[in-house]
Structure 1
């Protein structure tokens, strides 16, 4: 069945009447939204130029005194074990013979019971008296025989016998005198005498204890001075004139507490010799420093105790015509960044240090180009020739322009 022509024509006209206005409205809405977005969107910002910034520091040519730092432990120069030279019970122990106590040379520290040795001395003296009497009698007999032989009243054999008796009596007297000396010496040895001015490290015996010959009684050490055994590496030895022979001048050294960093006490001493043998493991050479009056009994300083760790600073050679760079400005051990004074551009430079420590890196002045500053601010990258903005010091109000003008005046003057 076919559609009537009038109905199709009417339907097409209805679609055109409705669709055309809708299309115009849709196109108008999209155009409005597009224009609105364009009006609200701000213009794209212009790309900002990035400029490196750094603080700079003047570099001065100086004479730099090297200071070698090392560490060690304080030790006594004379540590001995006090022993008994005779046998017997300990009769007296001096209050000076206690751990940590001070004593003076010649003072009695320990006394062994002396009664047996006094008896032995009395017996030796009695034997000496008897021997002296026998010698006196022998001399009288010999003198009488010598007078009688002149008148042929006695024979030569009797004279020789009298002379032999006298010689025997003289030998007996000498032996008795030696026995007396030995008895006196053993009686004297019942008192253990301090061999030097010192201090007690350990006490190994007490009152009433039986001591045998060569029994250790304790350990003592001298207090007139102490020694410090300082390890010196091969690199450090190049900057020190260490004494090798008796006539060589000593080197001054300063010691500080190696445990308590807040202790500002400084003990001074002198390196007086070296051991002359390198350590088998580290190949260090040990220098021996001497510190007088370590316990401050004369100077009044705090004591420098035995076995105390110390940090040592040793005066070394003076390096001439060098530049001391701050350690913080040296990157990757041997790289620095310079700034050209004229055009404020970067100049990265590789250096070879003569000496370095925790604070400074020392380089020869000829290694640093003239007319440059040292950049001290860490930079993310340092392209050669890049322009840089200099950060003025916080404590001054001088502008970079003023500094530049001053540099220009100086260069003009020069």
Structure 2
């Protein structure tokens, strides 16, 4: 009896133990099936196709005048150091002998005390008078001896002695005249005279100071014209006809302020000669430009000062049948992008510039195919044959920055 009643309980417990794992497995399978169902997602929109965009310019064949630009510094053509040829105390200084002051040729700039030299001149003139008197007496004695020798009153030796005395007196007169002339020169040298029209660069002496022979008194420079030493590179020389000989025609040059370029003052000059030696470091050839009346004393122009940096513009060769490309549209000086006028497709092109400056790159007209526009908007990617959208030149709402942004978006989408 006991055995028969325990058997159902055993089976029920066994089934219960089996049902729990099976329930767990069934729940897991149901959850897997539920999660494994495909989730419907909205379809992604097609990527928006954006065309390359650029502004374009007409390509024109022109004759382009080359203008060579170079930098230099204004310098005087004649700068000298005034020195004293005699020694003495500085007695007076002209008011024009101050730094920056103007003076004229012949002005007495500095005067040394002339007292000693006036005395020396008086002494030498007195010695000259004595020598002349001795010469007069010697001539009288010689003449008298010559008359007496005819009557044998004196010997021939006395006549020769009188003649020798006369010759000695003549030599003494000549020496005395030379000493007078030297004394006059020394007296005149007490006045230091301006050798040309000019200005004072530096003053090295003062009143009461003792000046010795060859003592520097100051530096002065001429103002009739100034010179500018212009470096010309080998590439620039190909487009210039610089004067080589004295009878060669000068070349016109314009100078502008190299410190403050907003200054609209222009100084006109002429390249009058070139140096015969290339610079050892740069291999540049230096051309010498001359500017008349640099301080505007007669012309009324603004002064062109010594030591002032300038930018020189020299008109060179006229290049015929060329294309002047905007420098901003040329990458790395030899790469441009063209646009076919018929189908608006891109054509990247390598060019060989004849000349380039800050604004233009000049190329031969035959190097650019006909029927093309020049793309002027910077583009990151310019595949050959790619379709391009032309930005209307009259549309002010689209800027270069916006077009570049669109090009960047397109490259990311692709």
TM-score when normalising by structure 1: 0.85
The aligned runs of 1:398-409 (5 Å cut-off) are: none
Question: What secondary structure sits across from 2:277 in the alignment?
Answer: strand
Q: Return the alpha-carbon distance in structure 2 between the equivalents of residues 129 and 96 of structure 1.
A: 41
- For structure 1, which segment, 360-369 or 257-266, has the greater mean C-alpha deviation from structure 2 after superposition? 257-266
CA RMSD between the two structures: 2.6
CA–CA distance in 2 between the matches of 1:395 and 1:316? 39
Residue 42 (structure 1) shift: 7.0
- C-alpha distance in 1 between matches for 2:173 and 2:379: 98
Counterpart of 2:213 in structure 1 is 213
Q: What TM-score do you get using the length of structure 2 for normalisation?
A: 0.85
> Which residue does 2:404 correspond to in 1?
none
Give the paired residue count: 374
- The DSSP-based 3-state class of the residue aligned with 2:275 is strand
**For the residues of structure 1 that align with 2:388 and 2:199, how far apart are their CA atoms?**
66
What is residue 311 of structure 2 aligned with on the other side?
311
Distance 1:44 1:213 in 2: 100
The offset of 1:46, in angstroms, is 4.1
What is the DSSP-based 3-state SS (H/G/I as helix, E as strand, rest coil) of the residue aligned with 1:300?
coil
Query: SS in structure 2 opposite 1:317?
Result: strand
Runs of 4+ with deviation above 6 angstroms: none
CA distance, structure 1, for counterparts of residue 358 and residue 255 of structure 2: 17
Number of the residue aligned with 2:249? 249
* Deviation by residue 1:366-401 (Cα, 9 ceiling, x = unmatched): 1010111111011121111111111121279xxxxx
Q: Deviations over 1:151-199 (max 9, x none)?
A: 3333322222222221111111111100000000000000000011111
2: CA distance, partners of 1:160 / 1:387: 122
Measure the CA separation in 2 of the matches of 1:281 and 1:142.
77
Matches of 1:47 and 1:112, distance apart in 2: 96
C-alpha offsets along residues 254-276 of structure 1, whole Å, 9 cap, x if unaligned? 11111112211111111111111
Greater CA drift, 48-57 or 219-228: 48-57
Residue pair 2:333, 2:361 contacting (<8 A) in 1 also = no
How much does 1:344 deviate?
Answer: 1.1
Matched ranges for 1:58-77 at <5 A: 58-77=58-77
8 Å contact 2:333–2:353 — kept in the other structure?
no
Q: Does 2:135 align with 1:135?
A: yes
Distance 1:287 1:58 in 2: 38
SS at match of 2:295: coil
Does structure 1 retain, via aligned residues, the 8 Å contact 2:79–2:222?
Answer: yes
